[in-house]
Amino acid sequence: MEFDIVGKSTPLLDGLEKVTGRARYVTDIRMEGMLHGKILRSPHPHARIVKIDTSKAEKVSGVRGIITGFNVPQHKFGTMLQDWVILPNDKVRFVGDEVAAVAATSEAAALEALELIEVEYEVLPAVFDQEEAMSPDAPLLYEDKDDNIATTFQVERGDVDGAFAESDIIFEDDYETSQVYQAHLEPMAAVVAPADYDRLTLWLSTQVPSMSRLRYAEALGVCAEDLRIIKPHVGGGFGAKFEYKSHILAAVLARRTGLPVRMVNTRDEDFIAGNPRVPMKIRVKLGLKKDGAILAKDVRIIAGNGARTVYGPAITSTACYRIDSLYKVRNVRSVGYTVYTNMIPTSCFRGFGNAQMHFAMEQALDAICHENGLDPVEVRRINGVYPGYVSIHGWEIKSCALQECVDQAVEASGWYEKKKTLDKSGAKKRGIGMALCNHVSGNRPFYRPFDGSSALVRLTPEGKAIVFTGEADLGQGLNTAFAIIAAEAVGLPVKDVRTAAVDTDISPFGLGSFATRATTIGGRAVYEAAVNLKEQLVSHIAKVYDEKPENIKVRKGEVALEGKGETLPIFDVMQKVSFSLGGASLVGQGSYVPDTVLPDENKYGNVSPAYPFACHIAEVEVDTETGSVNIINYWAAHDVGRVLNQQALEGQVEGGVIMGAGWALMEEMIVKEGHLVNPKLHDYWLPTSMDTPIGKIHSIFLESVDPNGPFGAKGIGEPSLNPVAAAIANAIFDATGARIKKLPISPDKIVGALVNKKL
């Protein structure tokens, strides 16, 4: 099939406003009478709130409203568990926990008021490590619970013990992944304004406009219809921008004061009260045949949920069993505990638990190969899934070019040659490492009622199209991908199509950008809407021009009337069609409901309509004297189903690899007794241009043409990061013999390992 737009490079259609600075983000919104909201946060990791006195703060000139746990309702709500309140009146549970919020006519007045709020705390013993928090004598975060275990996920299939008994190789080891910060350049932000009909309008920097609307309605005790959510440009999300407390506080303050309220995190607040990656302690036990075929897998995970639940439990369950659709293992047992601690609540971060498990599993396989003289490429080949494979949990792999990803990455990197010849003689040693990856494109259990998406495509009287979707572009290029899909399906130039900002008063419902679902599921809905539009267009043209429908071809913005031998610009045609309809636009509507199921109580059932795969290979140079690691080359071969936008795909891979390298080598939230020591971008070691091997990240795309994705496309956002930390760790091992199993792989750990091993 030949495409006009799909598969080419289409620069972001909303790039012009971004390069000119005209793009408006939530942080840019200013309104007449707008108040500035600020949040008083707990200085203690765990404390009883004895009393809050706001009398002095109320007298500050410019203060219009102050809320605390003593003047807001105390009903519970939440994302996965009902452990949120608007503001607490009993306890604070982490440093950064919201205690009070102020709205004032200036930021300075709001800050002054915060200083004057007097809170009397009774400090309680706290627990920070998730494993310690499981102990029976650990301080309890929630007194109405017996222990700190928020949720336990368990799954067992096949004959695990029998399979271990039959195994020639048994391997067991522990890995630990870190809590890291998404560091989206635009901090968490909301502007909330009262609107007509007693409603509120919320401009949110969010990945999940429609879902936030449902949760915030619950929190505020109103109908979803009473809330209008608008998502303008978003300055990155990476998993951080889900339901968020400060959005709710801004809404409460807007209702109390009757005025617009702006609530934007400072960078420090974003660090201490965002929702960073779920840290995990992962024990992996694998049983294999002599040739490396995996017979059995047993996993135990202890995950830190932090002080309240965002999406931790779903992330732990993902870590427990998603990887069972990467390798053909039939005997598996997993248990995952998501444990409350007096730490910042953790949540989604690109990779959603699967990235954590990749760090463990892909290193385990590498170690097994090394210890048993097996070829890591061959072992992955014989275990890797294939098209038509149904996992032990009932996950149905349709399109799959995993083997081809391995082939291409191995060939492009010169793997076998490099394995033999990379220089390990001096103090600077080179090494090469591999990691495979799988992921989903949509995750049915994420939102229990359903998965799916719907879209509208409107063709105006001038022959230009507007896509309406509830799925959220965060800067990854989703709006452009949707325009490409609609343009290709209708037959318009892509420049004549745009995707409207999400506005729940206008846009259809869209669950949002997570689980690498938006391009596949949202894009398929856009495709269906575009096809529906095209059908309407053709039938109207047939009527207006008295031409047989089969003789009407629309392509690149031109309409060929083949019976008449005439070709007309879409502008002329749509003017006529529209005038014949009283000036109407044509509106195509489409939905996509994936053929997935909510897994049953035994966790059985296909969760995603499409599964992307990848093979990453890292080549590194390790300075064994300083422990510093340089990425020399990086190959990322991805089964993307279909390339919709070459340039944007490369951008996702390059960004994901560098983010993964930051996680692997640099980034660390250093927490002492519950206090984050380094809430600054510099001290946190976010990768800069200096840390990036420019021109050395090589993207390779394979098109397995998925039957469910739009034009066959699957997602890319998370797969680009999942295997990175493991590929780098394996390369470091290859270079030096140092196996670092705890993130980050900082220079001191490498040097320490080398000293210990006398390597």
Partner 1 sequence: MCTQNEIMFTAEAKESITFTLNNKEYTVPVVPGERLLDMLRNRLGLSGPKEGCGAGECGACTVIFNGINLNSCLIPAERADGAVITTIEGLSEGIEGDLDPVQQSFLDHGAVQCGYCTPGMVLSAKVFLDHNKSTPVTRPMIKEALSGNLCRCTGYQKIVDAVYACAPVKGDPEEEGEV
- Tell me which residue of 499, 445, 200, 236 sits closest to 321, measured CA to CA: 445
- Alpha-carbon gap, residue 610 to 444, rounded angstroms: 11
Helix (H) or strand (E) run with residue 698 in it: strand 697-702
Binding partner of residue 647 among ligand FES, partner 1, none, CB cut-off 5 to 8 Å per kind:
partner 1
Q: Within 664-703, which residues bind partner 1 (CB under 8 A)?
A: 680-682, 686, 688-690, 692-697
Q: Which C-beta is closer to ligand FES: that of 236 or that of 717?
A: 236
- Alpha-carbon gap, residue 44 to 617, rounded angstroms: 44
Query: Considering the complex, what minimum distance in angstroms separates the CB of residue 269 from partner 1?
Result: 11
Q: Which C-beta is closer to partner 1: that of 289 or that of 680?
A: 680
Spell out the residues 6+ positions from residue 21 whose beta carbon is closer than 8 angstroms to its own: none
Q: Which C-beta is closer to partner 1: that of 236 or that of 336?
A: 236
Query: Considering the complex, what minimum distance in angstroms separates the CB of residue 18 from partner 1?
Result: 3
Burial class (CB within 10 angstroms; exposed 0-12, middle 13-18, buried 19+) of 264:
buried
Q: Which C-beta is closer to partner 1: that of 148 or that of 179?
A: 179
Query: Considering the complex, what minimum distance in angstroms separates the CB of residue 193 from partner 1?
Result: 18
476 binds partner 1 (CB under 8 A): yes
| β-strands 261-264, 35-41 pairing | parallel
**Total residues found in the chain within this entry:** 759
> Dihedral (C-alpha) 105, 108, 110, 115: value to the nearest 10 degrees?
-160
Q: Within 235-254, which residues bind partner 1 (CB under 8 A)?
A: 235-236, 238
257 binds partner 1 (CB under 8 A): no
Q: Which C-beta is closer to ligand FES: that of 659 or that of 665?
A: 659
Residue with tokens 């071809």: 553
Lay out the site mask for partner 1 across 211-240 (x = CB under 8 A, - = otherwise): ----------------------xxxx-x--
CB 327 within 8 A of CB 79: no
- Alpha-carbon gap, residue 463 to 467, rounded angstroms: 13
Lay out the site mask for partner 1 across 583-622 (x = CB under 8 A, - = otherwise): ----------------------------------------
Query: Considering the complex, what minimum distance in angstroms separates the CB of residue 240 from partner 1?
Result: 11
Spell out the residues 6+ positions from residue 449 whose beta carbon is closer than 8 angstroms to its own: none
Stretch that binds partner 1, among 156-164, 473-481, 552-560, 579-587 (CB under 8 A): 473-481
CB atoms within 10 A of CB 427: 9
Q: Which C-beta is closer to ligand FES: that of 189 or that of 455?
A: 189
186 binds partner 1 (CB under 8 A): yes
Among 1, 2, 19, 373, binds partner 1 (CB under 8 A): 19
Binding partner of residue 149 among partner 1, ligand FES, none, CB cut-off 5 to 8 Å per kind:
none
- Alpha-carbon gap, residue 444 to 608, rounded angstroms: 6
Binding partner of residue 707 among ligand FES, partner 1, none, CB cut-off 5 to 8 Å per kind:
none
16 binds ligand FES (CB under 6 A): no
Among 69, 452, 463, 475, binds partner 1 (CB under 8 A): 475
Number of shown-chain residues binding partner 1 (CB under 8 A): 58
- Alpha-carbon gap, residue 528 to 657, rounded angstroms: 33
12 binds partner 1 (CB under 8 A): yes
**237-to-189, 269, 277, 356, 681 alpha-carbon distances in Å:** 11, 16, 13, 19, 16
- Alpha-carbon gap, residue 720 to 653, rounded angstroms: 5
716 binds partner 1 (CB under 8 A): no
- Alpha-carbon gap, residue 389 to 397, rounded angstroms: 5
In sequence order, what are the beta bridge partners of 430? Answer: 621
DSSP, residue by residue, 524-583: HHHHHHHHHHHHHHHHHHHHHHT--GGGEEEETTEEEETTTTEEEEHHHHHHHHHHHTTS
Q: Which C-beta is closer to partner 1: that of 313 or that of 662?
A: 662
Query: Considering the complex, what minimum distance in angstroms separates the CB of residue 514 from ligand FES?
Result: 18
Q: Which C-beta is closer to partner 1: that of 78 or that of 687?
A: 687
Query: Considering the complex, what minimum distance in angstroms separates the CB of residue 237 from partner 1?
Result: 8
- Alpha-carbon gap, residue 47 to 89, rounded angstroms: 11
CB 391 within 8 A of CB 599: no
Among 165, 185, 223, 598, binds partner 1 (CB under 8 A): 185
Under DSSP, the state recorded for 477 is S
Query: Considering the complex, what minimum distance in angstroms separates the CB of residue 690 from partner 1?
Result: 5
Region of 695 on the Ramachandran plot (φ > 0 left; ψ -120 to 50 alpha; else beta)? left
Binding partner of residue 639 among ligand FES, partner 1, none, CB cut-off 5 to 8 Å per kind:
none
Number of shown-chain residues binding ligand FES (CB under 6 A): 3
Residue with tokens 């936030």: 212
Stretch that binds partner 1, among 10-18, 121-129, 335-343, 481-489 (CB under 8 A): 10-18
Q: Which C-beta is closer to ligand FES: that of 544 or that of 686?
A: 686
> On the CB side of 424, how many CA atoms lie within 13 Å of its CA?
16
Query: Considering the complex, what minimum distance in angstroms separates the CB of residue 236 from ligand FES?
Result: 5
Query: Considering the complex, what minimum distance in angstroms separates the CB of residue 693 from partner 1?
Result: 7
Q: Within 27-46, which residues bind partner 1 (CB under 8 A)?
A: 27-28, 30
CB atoms within 10 A of CB 572: 12
CB 679 within 8 A of CB 268: yes
Angle between helices 724-736 and 747-757 (to 10 degrees): 40
Which tokens go with 433? 């490492």
Q: Which C-beta is closer to ligand FES: that of 69 or that of 475?
A: 475
Spell out the residues 6+ positions from residue 236 whose beta carbon is closer than 8 angstroms to its own: 182, 184, 185, 186, 474, 475
25 binds partner 1 (CB under 8 A): yes
Query: Considering the complex, what minimum distance in angstroms separates the CB of residue 671 from partner 1?
Result: 20
Among 165, 185, 581, 677, binds ligand FES (CB under 6 A): 185
Q: Which C-beta is closer to partner 1: that of 607 or that of 636?
A: 636
8 binds partner 1 (CB under 8 A): no
- Alpha-carbon gap, residue 229 to 244, rounded angstroms: 14
Q: Within 211-270, which residues bind ligand FES (CB under 6 A)?
A: 236
Query: Is the bond into 612 cis (omega within 30 degrees of 0)?
Result: no
> On the CB side of 584, how many CA atoms lie within 13 Å of its CA?
10
Angle between helices 245-257 and 209-220 (to 10 degrees): 50
Binding partner of residue 22 among partner 1, ligand FES, none, CB cut-off 5 to 8 Å per kind:
partner 1
Binding partner of residue 575 among ligand FES, partner 1, none, CB cut-off 5 to 8 Å per kind:
none
Among 237, 304, 442, 475, binds ligand FES (CB under 6 A): 475
- Tell me which residue of 459, 687, 424 sits closest to 554, measured CA to CA: 459
Binding partner of residue 45 among ligand FES, partner 1, none, CB cut-off 5 to 8 Å per kind:
none
Binding partner of residue 477 among ligand FES, partner 1, none, CB cut-off 5 to 8 Å per kind:
partner 1
**Residues interacting with ligand FES, by CB under 6 A?**
185, 236, 475
**Which residues would be at the binding site for partner 1 (CB under 8 A)?**
9, 11-12, 14-25, 27-28, 30, 182-187, 233-236, 238, 266-267, 474-477, 647-648, 650-651, 654-659, 680-682, 686, 688-690, 692-697
